[in-house]
């Protein structure tokens, strides 16, 4: 016996995320829309409409569309930064007979690469599945606009196919990549997020990163002294935003191969660093990594988190071997490894070329490791 499906159209409801408000347009938004995206040929390059010539033309467009808000199946939001300006738009076209919705979006160039659109798309997807009752969400993008596809993937959608010359814009006919997400997969992903691993030590909680961690993460990731011996950084804001999005994506893999944790002080709730366990393909061996805000160095936090990662790796992931590497000049890092009972297995002389501080040089590495049988004894 099949269950009767039903959609509950609610119209363009105001939605909120960590940094954004998605709301109905008003005529007063015309100036922001014109200034930030509607007059920009680069923004509209792969869209079906051409840049607007004036604020008044934008206002006329908005006045026509504002009238459509009377329809409960109209979904057309302006994306506004909280306590800030309007930066773009997102819409959903519902097809009731199929219980599906198609999402489209755009944003001003000044706001690209900051994770705003991914944040908005995720919230609209949640609204459509959990409140409207669709069974499937779709989106597509020109193959010449891969950044849009990155948004779809980060929002949890999957590449499903390719369509030749799917639509026409001022750049000509566009071949497109097609993305989709079903309610079944959305629910499965949501359950996996709710069951994410959280580890605890005497003073620390190791938990998955969230977008709300941006300021704390960027504080250490953008600090040249803090990342002196890292193979990445110092980060700009875009790099930190991308890291947080990628860290979230890693928890959605099945099976999980990279466990990326924020390091949080229990007494204050402050994010003081990050750490992770990175498995090999056979899931028998893993590498550890960590970084702490330098204001929390030399307080035993590195050893405390590393010991917990090792415990989790051997007891919960059933690993055979755990290893870690560091620059030979990074005394603090290799002391953590030694404090955890790891053995120095090798010193590789000038085996890696990269940045150390403000120089690009060949540098040497220590390799440390511990076997499960050694840890148990």
Q: Quick one: pLDDT at residue 311?
A: 98
What tens digit of pLDDT does each residue of 37-87 get? 999 999 999 999 999 999 999 999 999 999 999 999 999 999 999 999 999
Q: Quick one: pLDDT at residue 3?
A: 56
pLDDT band for position 222 (cuts 50, 70, 90): very high
The answer to whether the CB of 241 falls within 8 A of the CB of 364 is no
The answer to whether the CB of 91 falls within 8 A of the CB of 75 is yes
Q: What average pLDDT score do residues 160-184 get?
A: 96
Q: Quick one: pLDDT at residue 321?
A: 98
How far is residue 96's CA from residue 106's CA, in Å, rounded to a whole number? 24
Q: Quick one: pLDDT at residue 365?
A: 96
Cα angle 246-120-158, degrees, rounded to a multiple of 5: 55
Q: Looking at the predicted structure, is the pLDDT value of residue 1 above 50?
A: no
What pTM did the predictor assign?
0.69
Kind and range of the H or E run holding 277:
strand 271-279
Q: Looking at the predicted structure, is the pLDDT value of residue 196 above 80?
A: yes
What tens digit of pLDDT does each residue of 240-286 get? 988 998 998 888 787 899 999 999 999 999 999 999 999 999 999 99
Q: Looking at the predicted structure, is the pLDDT value of residue 2 above 60?
A: no
What tens digit of pLDDT does each residue of 105-134 get? 999 999 998 889 999 999 999 999 999 999
**Which superfamily does 15-189 belong to?**
Gcn5-related N-acetyltransferase (GNAT) (3.40.630.30)
Q: What average pLDDT score do residues 324-349 get?
A: 97
Q: What average pLDDT score do residues 304-328 get?
A: 97
- Percentage of the residues of the chain whose pLDDT score is greater than 70: 98
Domain ranges of the chain: 15-189, 196-376
pLDDT band for position 6 (cuts 50, 70, 90): confident
- Percentage of the residues of the chain whose pLDDT score is greater than 90: 86
Closest Cα to residue 59, out of 84, 90, 85, 26?
Answer: 26
Angle between helices 146-154 and 237-250 (to 10 degrees): 50
Assign 3-state DSSP to the chain and report helix, strand, coil percentages, each to 5: 35, 35, 30
Whether the domain at 15-189 and the domain at 196-376 fall into the same CATH topology: yes
- Please name the CATH architecture into which domain 196-376 falls: 3-Layer(aba) Sandwich (3.40)
């Amino acid at each position: 016996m099949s269950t009767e499906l039903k959609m509950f159209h609610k119209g363009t409801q105001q939605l909120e995320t960590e940094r954004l408000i998605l709301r109905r347009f008003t005529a007063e938004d015309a100036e922001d829309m014109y200034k930030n995206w509607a007059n920009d040929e680069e923004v509209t390059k792969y869209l079906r409409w051409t840049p607007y010539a004036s604020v008044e033309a934008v206002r006329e467009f908005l006045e026509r569309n504002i009238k459509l808000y009377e329809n409960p199946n109209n979904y057309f939001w302006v994306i506004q930064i909280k306590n800030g300006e309007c930066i773009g738009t997102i819409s959903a076209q519902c097809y009731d007979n199929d219980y599906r919705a198609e999402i489209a979006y755009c944003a001003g160039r000044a706001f690209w690469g900051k994770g705003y659109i991914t944040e908005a798309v995720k919230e609209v997807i949640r609204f459509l599945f959990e409140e409207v009752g669709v069974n499937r969400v779709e989106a597509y993008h020109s193959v010449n606009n891969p950044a849009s596809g990155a948004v779809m993937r980060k929002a949890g959608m999957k590449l499903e196919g390719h369509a030749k010359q799917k639509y026409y814009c001022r750049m000509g006919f566009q071949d497109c990549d097609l993305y989709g997400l079903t309610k079944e997969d959305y629910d499965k992903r949501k359950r996996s997020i709710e069951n994410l691993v959280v580890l605890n030590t005497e003073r620390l909680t190791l938990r998955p990163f969230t977008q709300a961690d941006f300021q704390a993460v960027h504080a250490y990731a953008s600090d040249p002294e803090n990342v002196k011996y890292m193979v990445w950084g110092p980060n700009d804001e875009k790099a930190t935003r991308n890291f947080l999005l990628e860290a979230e994506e890693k928890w959605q893999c099945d099976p999980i191969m990279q466990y990326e944790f924020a390091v949080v002080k229990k007494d204050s709730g402050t994010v003081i660093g990050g750490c992770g366990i990175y498995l090999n393909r056979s899931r028998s061996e893993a590498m550890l990594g960590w970084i702490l805000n330098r204001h929390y160095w030399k307080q035993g936090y590195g050893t405390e988190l590393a010991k917990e990662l090792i415990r989790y790796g051997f007891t919960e992931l059933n690993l055979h071997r755990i290893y870690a590497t560091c620059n030979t000049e990074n005394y603090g890092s290799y002391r953590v490894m030694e404090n955890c009972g790891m053995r120095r297995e090798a010193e590789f002389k000038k085996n890696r070329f990269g940045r150390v501080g403000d120089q690009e040089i060949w540098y040497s590495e220590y390799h440390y490791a511990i076997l499960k049988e050694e840890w148990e004894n």
